[in-house]
Amino acid sequence: MSTWFGRSISEDDLVDLHGKVVILTGGNTGIGYATIQMLARKGAKVYMAARSEERAADAIKQLKSEDIKDGSVHWLKLDLTDPRAAKQSAREFLEKEERLDILSSSADHLVDIMTINHISHAAFTDVLLPLMKRTASESGSDVRLVNVASRGHEFAKPSTFSKELLTSKQSGTSFGTIMDLYGLSKLAMILYTKALQIRFNAAAIPITCLTMHPGEISTRGANNTIRTIPYLGWLAGALVPLLFGSPRTGAMTVAFAAAGKEVAAQREKYQGAYLWPVAEIGIPSSFAVDARLREELYESTVLVLKELE
């Protein structure tokens, strides 16, 4: 079966997730919502990490009405506007669970972009990594760290990834400025994920890390961004539902990364991979495979995280 994006992924292509614990950020709408639906239908206990309890409760109610079989979905409070709050959310999760098999992170915020899209997610992940490592040490484990990036990372062409760049309060209102900043945050996510994979491999820690561009998908965030295009934004925004894929289509690549049978069977092939739709290994920008930038980004991120302690 295929979509106009290429191949198609369904729940049949995912591993059994009964007894597995999942955290997915940004899951009360769009791609995240559709991903949670797919993972829960495979029996996972999924934590929907989101700021608004009301919106999360509405989304969970809707998911249950659409049949998630014997999986379950729970709200985990997560405020990505403050990295310290993100760390606290992760600590609260550690009080609830004794394992974490899948961590899937996604954010497409256009205000305080680097903080929300990269720094807060890195802070959240950092607190959870010891538990993920313990889970990965168990026999038969299949622990995965999935970060949803974007083809928008191709807009970013930094000469360096200094700590100052990561912590500067950059913002903008024009389409060009927003995409530059958004692309930079998504490039940071790709580089950081690859850096983690390299360190896991060096320490013989069996965690599989992946990033991906889920596709041009009709979501609220995509529509809002496109409407900032000068002069033609209103027209482009109106065409998004017609020309872009559905959230379910976008979720296919994310769910494949998080729980695909093919990834389980060929771990070495997918370690540190960048995927594009649907569920194919893609080629990121030259900046996304630059070893110097990768290490600069990683070390700068570590410095920022230390300041949060």
| Catalytically annotated residue among 33, 182, 192, 274 | 182
pLDDT at 280 over 80: yes
The pTM (predicted TM-score) of the whole model is: 0.90
- Tell me the average pLDDT of the chain: 89
Instruction: Say how far apart CA 217 and CA 37 lie, in whole Å.
Output: 17
Assign 26 to helix, strand or coil.
coil
Considering Cα of 107, then 112, then 114, then 118, what sign does the dihedral take?
negative
Q: What confidence tens digit (pLDDT) does each residue in 160-186 have? A: 999 999 987 655 555 556 778 889 999
Q: Do 212 and 244 meet the contact criterion of CB atoms below 8 Å apart?
A: no
Task: Just give the CATH number of 2-307.
Answer: 3.40.50.720
Considering Cα of 112, then 166, then 80, then 223, what sign does the dihedral take?
positive
How many alpha carbons lie under 13 Å from residue 284 in its C-beta half-sphere? Answer: 28
Residue extents of the structural domains in the chain: 2-307
182 as an active site residue: the answer is: yes
Tokens (6 digits) for 69: 């079989």
Tokens (6 digits) for 150: 């974007």
Q: What angle do CA 11, 221, 91 make, to 5 degrees?
A: 70
Tokens 């007894």 locate to 19
**Entry field: residues in the chain:** 309
